[in-house]
Structure 1
């Protein structure tokens, strides 16, 4: 076969051109790369088929050609006849022919390979973008259990950059218990070349706290099927577990609250009867000192039982509450007595109370919650043995916000000092790290182990104190303990006012409704003794029947709220629609908050005294239009 035939049949594009770029000869393969015939191509120059963007590259290749007699191989593009760009791999050399220096070039169409490379590069960039921007932690692990790759999500989850993480002995960051469990499971998985799904693993964050991570991985196999490591995706589920714990806690407290409310409802009904009969009995024996003293003992015990019921409801936050002037010393003393029974035997709870009354204007339940939360936090800090001191005092605050013990001199210039009440809880526990002090008031932030707290204690205290116009600050030292100081405005006691005698007032027709017979009986007796005409009902159905049967509307409907089948709130609503002239007063030993919010009228809280009942009945008529 002739050399010319080989030249023309060669599948690689071949071209001969002058040093100025004019083509002398090309084979069909070279012309085909350009989408042209040989004749068309010979009418062109090298520069006609080269995009201008390659000018700098071409100059560099021509310089190489002049110096070495060769150029390439390198990749460039040619213009195709139809206008699109063709990728080629080009190389060439200088040859001498008839005394002329010519350029002999070979060109291979690599458009398909270039497209494939571009697609691969784009795919890799897309993959890397997904890997680096996802919130999931993606990693690779070799057979030596050394992490060889990690995306940037590790910094969000553990606080280390990917580079810092890979430089560590990473498995030492795993919780020891989980590391042991993983170490026990991995050999069997590696032997079977299997991955895992949904492992719960605790990793230690850079700040020392543990994060809960849900881990899944697949085995990495080489072409021969041998295990080379693992590639995994981990998800930080710490917040989810915290929310689940908060939900469980909320559900538990809701159940406890409902139980407490049910107990309080029945207990308060009993106390209405006990205290009511005791008051009536006191009137009949007031001339017999011995009998009167016995009755007073009954009343005192009943009132003490009523206060216990209110405390029970306060802890479940289901009591009817309103701010009143109260003695901070009394609330602190009562809470300390209660907490002293439930703290560990090796924890000493001391109280140092101010010798004089410290009046504050607050909801008693909220003050109790403040004391309980602070003492509970202190008990967690001291562990199984230590001392907690709860102290009350007066302090003087100045405009700059400084607070010192009463009698100390502050640097306030002409600013007049303002005396306030101080509640201080001190412990000798582990203390709070300085870097965490700024975060202790954040909702759901806790330094306790998972499941040991919701992180709502101090944030709740902070909210209550701020709402009461007070301040709170914390001093803590690692290994020495913590001191929390709550400062509240003092509220002076109003001048004592002698109680006005309860006036009977004009006779009224009253319908008393309560499913507890003992309550209905004592309420009826008190109202009848005051001159009112009373009719009783033990259910809402009986009450509606009595309202329907009455020739004239009743003057007052006095009904319990919590009753079987139909509540007092619903009964009041129906009564107001049908008999608008009838006044309404509801009684409650306990009622769900939503029921109280729906109540269309005033509510008297059980247990109540006969005088209080008569006063509230009189107020209903005096305030009615």
Structure 2
């Protein structure tokens, strides 16, 4: 085959002849010219690849080794050929740049450095075989067996022992070797980093178990030493004491080391700091618990809201029937009020889990907090002093003012409870701009505060504080330290702040508690002028009502008929579609429950829309709206309402949608 290019160096001599020593080093060496043609191929590469120099000189490197055409390799090699900047390919990212097999058939692990030799206008590849080092690192993973074997080896394995020791010294886990009494014979760098001691101080320590293992009595140490003296292994988690007295949790494995006579000579301890892992495990368990609670809450809310929807309808109808009986009418009105309060309790549960829609509007937080402070003052006993401290500015905010007000009231009420036994109780409500210097600890804890605009609402009291052992649980729903507490107050606060894309943090000590709320502000866009409601002209409309709960279906039908509408019932999605398809043009509006057997409300309505694209749709749900709002928002001329619904509001909504559809 004709060889093209210029395989010689700058002086015309074959490069292999210019560097004869390259055939005597344990490193693979090759060189290519700017055209990618091989101009140097040393003896080590001949051994590794079974390819003779005479065969390789003049061949195109990228054709011989197509792996080099991978973008992450080829781009960097081309850069060396273009501007002369050296590159290195590590064995971790590029296992075998020039594929070379070991005698056992596996690939050699290579560290490849490519440099430009300007005098010869070639790129020199230096290929170092790191297979042995990688095997040693693999051996380290089985440190107990490997170290025992290393102690039995003779001087013929001294080099491997040195390499293994170097690998262990760089390991992330602490490795300690002790004699049978616990005296430290060796430690790696990780152990010194974990504990804060240095090499000189280590040798002054009596035994590792007495100095580093945190324990409440000597029984553990005695049992451990007896176990180890018997030649058995021990594994477990242990609190380790640092030099400064602080502690961390470690996963500890202790194993015996025997000599050739099977006598116990040493122990090896592998110790891994798992403090971060424990924190992540706790957060994961907490998240799982929260998800389970959210699922439970959604199911409870659905059932309660269905019951309340039926109760509201029945009470509304009963009130119309006893209009000439004032006392009975008043009692029914009280029932309606109690029903509404029950709905608010369910709403508090949903606030904890809610992630979707709120009744949001834009308003200045400065005015809101000032008005809130006046409202809070009415609920604070006179023996508690309530003060405020506000930065100047509007702090334009978009959110649900009612939900935010309830959350802040819950925090203030908790502060009042903590001040019951103090005669000099104080509560301070503040609103400030986020200040990098003063809020540095919060910014470090919550890096998202570095981005975007946030304001800082804080509520401080000088009460008894929150015990450290329960601080992680205060936002859990149903957790309360009060005998008659529901455990929903702070859970609702957490749900509210998360719903507003905010952050909540609590600082507490025996001298008081501060609740920090960081909520995002927006650029003020001026005062929005609300639209005037359209004039309504009531007339009966034809309604298809679908719900699988008889307790909701019958009262709602009676309620709608009492308002003058014509109502046809369906008890699931399939039945609703079958009724609709008989006379598609006769219906003015469809009201359907979202969750029904056989076919849900969304699926049924989508099939109806194929026959009547203009039919107005009202979706009703007893669950948190956030669970279904994304799907319903994609449906034109539709709205989503929560059970139980106010009868007058439902009637108004029906008429608005029907009137708008008739005009269209």
**TM-score band, normalised by the shorter chain?**
0.5 to 0.7
1:310 and 2:341 matched: no
1:276 corresponds to: 313
Establish whether residue 175 from structure 1 lines up as the match of residue 194 from structure 2: no
Quote the RMSD (CA, aligned, Å). 5.4
Q: Which runs of 5+ in 1 are unaligned?
A: 1-115, 337-348, 404-419, 432-446
Output one character per residue of 1:294-314: Cα deviation in whole Å (capped at 9) or x when no partner: 222111111111111111222
Q: Which residue of 1 aligns with 2:296?
A: 259
Corresponding position of 1:531? 564
Count of residue pairs brought into register by the alignment: 457
Give CA deviations for 1:170-217 in whole Å, capped at 9, x if unaligned.
54443325x756425324423422222x31212245676643322212
Query: Matches of 1:351 and 1:565 in 2, distance apart?
Result: 60
Native 8 Å contact 2:542 2:588 kept in 1:
yes
Is 1:425 the counterpart of 2:460? The answer is yes
Displacement, 1:517? Answer: 1.6
Structure having the higher Rg: 1
Query: Does the CA-based 8 Å contact 2:177-2:187 persist in structure 1?
Result: yes
The yes-or-no answer on 1:571 pairing with 2:604 is: yes
For residue 514 of structure 1, report the CA deviation from its aligned partner.
1.1
Contact 1:514–1:539 (CA under 8 A) maintained in structure 2: yes
Query: How far apart are residue 160 of structure 1 and its match?
Result: 4.9
Q: Where does residue 233 of structure 2 map in the other structure?
A: 195
Distance in 1 of aligned mates of 2:375 and 2:288: 27
SS of alignment partner, residue 269 of structure 1: helix
TM superposition score normalised by structure 1: 0.58
1:581 aligns with 2:600: no
Residue 536 of structure 1 and its aligned partner are, at CA, apart by 0.8
Structure 1 residues 584 and 466: alpha-carbon distance in aligned structure 2, compared to 1, 3 A threshold: closer
Deviation at 1:609, TM superposition (A): 0.7
- 1 CA distance for matches of 2:271 and 2:187? 11
- Give the corresponding residue for 1:131: 168
1:539 to partner: Cα distance: 1.2
Q: TM-score, normalised by structure 2?
A: 0.55
Q: Which residue of 2 aligns with 1:453?
A: 472
Alpha-carbon distance, 1:134 to partner: 1.9
**Offset of residue 605 of structure 1:** 1.3
Structure 1 residue 550 and structure 2 residue 583: aligned?
Answer: yes
Contact 1:426 1:484 in 2 (8 A): no
Give deviations 1:46-99, integer Å, cap 9, x for gaps.
xxxxxxxxxxxxxxxxxxxxxxxxxxxxxxxxxxxxxxxxxxxxxxxxxxxxxx
Structure 1 pair 365–154 and aligned structure 2 pair: CA distance change class (3 A):
farther
Instruction: Report the counterpart of residue 244 of structure 1 in structure 2.
Output: 281
1:64 maps to which residue?
none
For 1:462 and 1:518, the matched residues in 2 are separated by: 33
Whose strand fraction is larger, Structure 1's or Structure 2's? 1
**In the aligned structure 1, how far is the partner of 2:203 from the partner of 2:510?**
33
Of the three residues 323, 332, 337, the one matched with 1:295 is 332
- CA distance change for structure 1 residues 223 and 372 in 2, over 3 Å: closer, same or farther? farther
Whole-Å separation in 1 of the counterparts to 2:290 and 2:187: 42
Confirm whether residue 234 of structure 1 aligns to residue 271 of structure 2: yes
Q: Which runs of 5+ in 2 are unaligned?
A: 1-152, 378-382, 389-395, 440-454, 477-489
CA distance in 2, matches of 1:548, 1:388: 72
> Equivalent residue of 2:628, what SS?
helix
Whole-angstrom CA distance in 2 between matches of 1:374 and 1:119? 75
- Which is worse superposed, 290-299 or 533-542? 290-299
**1: CA distance between counterparts of 2:357 and 2:256?**
61
Q: Which moved more, 1:322-331 or 1:224-233?
A: 322-331
The Cα shift of 1:523 comes to: 2.4
Q: CA deviation at 1:613?
A: 0.8
Q: 1:487 to 1:623 in 2, by over 3 A?
A: same
Change (3 A) 1:526 1:208: farther
Find the aligned partners of 2:331 and 2:493 in 1 and give their Cα distance: 43
Change beyond 3 A, Cα 1:428–1:581: closer
Is the CA contact 1:502–1:615 (under 8 Å) kept in the aligned structure 2?
A: no
Asked if the contact 1:514/1:538 (under 8 Å) is kept, the reply is yes
The answer as to whether partners of 2:542 and 2:567 remain within 8 angstroms in 1 is yes
